[in-house]
Chain A
Amino acid sequence: MEALGLLLHGFAVLLTWKTLVLMMVGLVLGIFVGVLPGLGGPNGVAILLPLTFTMDPTSAIVMLSCIYWGALFGGAITSILFNIPGEAWSVATTFDGYPMAQQGRAAEALTAAFTSSFIGSLVAVLLITFLAPMISSFALKFGPPEFFAVYLLTFCSFVGLGREAKHKTVISMSLGLLLAGVGMDTVSGNLRMTFGSAELLRGINFLVAVIGLFGISEILLTMEERLALRGHAASISLRVVLGVWKDLPKYWVTLLRSSFIGCWLGITPGGAIAASFMGYNLAKRFAKEPESFGKGRIEGVFAPETAAHASGTSALLPMLALGIPGSGTAAILLGGLMVWGLNPGPLLFVEHKDFVWGLIASMYLGNVVGLVLVLTTVPIFASILRVPFAAVAPMIVVSCAIGAYAIQNAMFDIWLMLGFGIVGYVFKKIGIPLAPFTLALVLGNRAEDAFRLSMIGSGGNLGVFWSNGLVGSITTLAIVLLFWPVIDGLLARGGLTQGSKTTSA
């Protein structure tokens, strides 16, 4: 009940004209970002972050999170109308969404996608409302070993549960952790890995890296492909919306199951991509006519969209409660918090109640407003794709450069962004995942500090990570997850499991 009172307080903080206008601006920018080829949620948030530097933290985070919700909604438009998944998690939406559009049911498919996005996010926000305060008050008991164990768990689960080749995830993560250490050591004040360069004294800002890795590299990749689009135009009428909503109770099992999968994979770093595919596959598996999936079945839109959005939203739970982002975009939002001098983690709930509950309230309001906005403006946003890519590409490059420069007012960061753009392009093409790199770059310093403090406290004894039941179980779980493919293989050989494909399902 305390959470409800605090949430109402959050709404009171939020309901000012200024914040509401920023919310609308964020949503519109987010939908633009979601629809435009070559951009996406993480890029959009990173590029537009400088706009928020002069705002108070609550207004800033509300605008940024609304860009995120907008991008989540916008991705479905291109998936359904053009068969182009704006984000990897929208791939499963194309399976039935595009056939529905081909059958002249684009409006129905879009309504289903937006509504299920809303439902998935709503379930996740409810989870955040009631679970985040509990987790954060529990986490207040954490010391450095517990925090390091949680960081280790995050890193190990990326390696163990990721779909990519394990050594590629290890390369990506260790490179991110190393680059996070460039610059002045926060404990001793010594310079590390700067090689005499004054520019590297500041270290490598992860937002600059993200803008290059995702923004510039995506432009290069998009340019490489054929850009001929052929899609369906659609406008949504109230009759279609009400028709879809009337049928919603029929699909309550699918919606609930997908929400659960999404929340689970969002809190653990399974991610929205795994969630959307798992949601789709399970809906198909439990359907009476599984063969009808892929031919324009509305459940095929409900399931992946609900799961992906529940996952994307619940990824904010570990960020707020523990300071550990569950996704790339959550990592960027976490970076934003640090820019405004806020320290994400359990203390945030104690020291900045207005901010935390204002943000949670904005998640509710942003989703409702976002749903209404996308339902009424689909044709406008779909027509953005008529703009030639030759006009869009240089504008995105300029936006990226502005974003990179504004973070530290350094020209060097624009060059760094370009460098990371090349790295991102090459890494994406040879299958080195970028999400672990981003996460490691964000968490690197915190993980190192927690490790060093733990080791100083124990006199260099690694046994500190098993010194009590809590830290011992987290560390053990981390190791189990790291070697999960091996363990899973052994269990499968022993006939105990079917060698479950943890993230590809």
Chain B
Amino acid sequence: MSQTDLEIVVDDPTAPEDDSPSVVSSGTIEIVVCLLLLALATTLGYDNWRTGASWDSTGPEPGYFPFYLSVILGGGSLYGLIVALIAHRKAAETFVTRAQARRVMAVFVPTLLFCLVTQFLGLYVASFLLIAGFMRLVGKIALWKSLLTALVFTAIMFVTFDIAFDVIMPKGPLEAAFGH
């Protein structure tokens, strides 16, 4: 057996602290989600009722099936709301701590910006900026490594999708300058 004693160790210097304070409890989020789902069920239910949720000469109207699904969704959300309100008084389990929220935002905000930039500069430029920026700013990885990784990955994606498999991605002014 060629089992070795070597260990693979990957440390995470930016790991969230264990004693970080809670930002919001799971109970509160459950209440908010149930309220939002209840509002969604009401809106969709109204829209389907307006479209037609009964019977005509040809059978069930277009809104018939989704209308009753809205009712089921509304019922489930209302029940969930009551359960969450009762449970909320008893226990307050943490949904996310401050340190965790910071880390989630460190991914979410760049992803949001990436979607925005894709609309104007195309997917490949946005990908390059996201990968290089994320590696450098969040991962604190050396600038040359970040730029090189982003360039290689974006190039592989371009060759794979746009050239090899003919899957056309959104382009921006840079690709246009190169005739794509």
Contacts and interface: CB of A to CB of B under 8 A. Distances in A.
A165 B81 CA distance: 13
A337 B84 CA distance: 40
Contacts of B131: 391, 394-395, 398
A51 interface: yes
A391 B107 contact: no
A193 B48 contact: yes
Contacts of B76: 167-168, 170-171, 174
Interface centre among B3, B9, B114 (most CB of A within 10 A): B3
B83 A167 contact: yes
Contacts of A394: 110, 114, 127, 130-131, 134-135
Interface residues of B, number: 81
Contacts of B35: none
A369 B138 CA distance: 39
Interface in A105-140: 105-108
Contacts of A107: 1-3
Nearest to B45: A178
Nearest to B79: A167
A393 B134 contact: yes
Interface string A51-63: 1011000000000
A397 interface: yes
A448 B103 CA distance: 42
Interface string A229-257: 11111111101100000000000000000
Given A54-B166, A167-B80, A452 B65 contact: yes
A248 to B, nearest CB: 17
A235 B2 CA distance: 6
B155 interface: no
B66 A415 contact: no
Contacts, number: 231
B11 to A, nearest CB: 5
Contacts of B7: 230-233
A53 B160 CA distance: 13
B66 A398 contact: no
Given A107-B1, A230-B9, A171 B80 contact: yes
A16 interface: no
Contacts of A382: 8
B8 A460 contact: no
A339 B159 CA distance: 23
Contacts of B4: 233-235
A385 to B, nearest CB: 6
Nearest to A175: B73
Interface in A155-183: 165, 167-168, 170-171, 174-175, 177-178, 181
Contact of B8 (A226, A386, A391): A386
B121 interface: no
A402 B157 contact: yes
Contact of B10 (A229, A395, A455): A229
A456 B114 CA distance: 48
B15 to A, nearest CB: 4
Contact of B73 (A174, A195, A399): A174
Nearest to A234: B3
Nearest to B124: A398
Interface centre among B2, B47, B153 (most CB of A within 10 A): B2
Main secondary structure on B side of the interface with A = helix
In this complex, the interface size class of chain A, counting residues with CB under 8 Å from chain B, is 35 or more
Interface in A67-106: 81-82, 104-106
Contacts of A231: 7-9
Contacts of B110: 394, 397
A51 B166 CA distance: 9
B115 to A, nearest CB: 5
Interface string B61-102: 111111001101101110110010000000000011000100
Nearest to A422: B108
A202 interface: no
A106 B157 contact: no
Interface string A214-228: 001001100111111
B144 interface: no
B5 interface: yes
Contacts of A108: 1
Contacts of A421: 111
A201 interface: no
A418 interface: yes
Interface in A385-435: 385-386, 388-391, 393-395, 397-399, 401-402, 405-406, 409, 411, 414-415, 418, 421-422, 425-427, 429-430, 432
B143 interface: no
Contacts of B178: none
A170 B72 contact: yes
A322 B134 CA distance: 45
A233 B8 contact: yes
B165 to A, nearest CB: 5
B161 A50 contact: yes
A429 B69 contact: no
Contacts of B1: 107-108, 237, 239-240
A406 B130 contact: no
A401 B123 contact: yes
Q: Which 7 A-B pairs have the closest CB atoms?
A: A390-B139, A456-B59, A227-B12, A174-B73, A190-B62, A394-B134, A226-B15
11 contacts: A50-B167, A54-B166, A107-B3, A174-B72, A191-B51, A216-B111, A231-B7, A231-B8, A235-B3, A235-B4, A391-B149
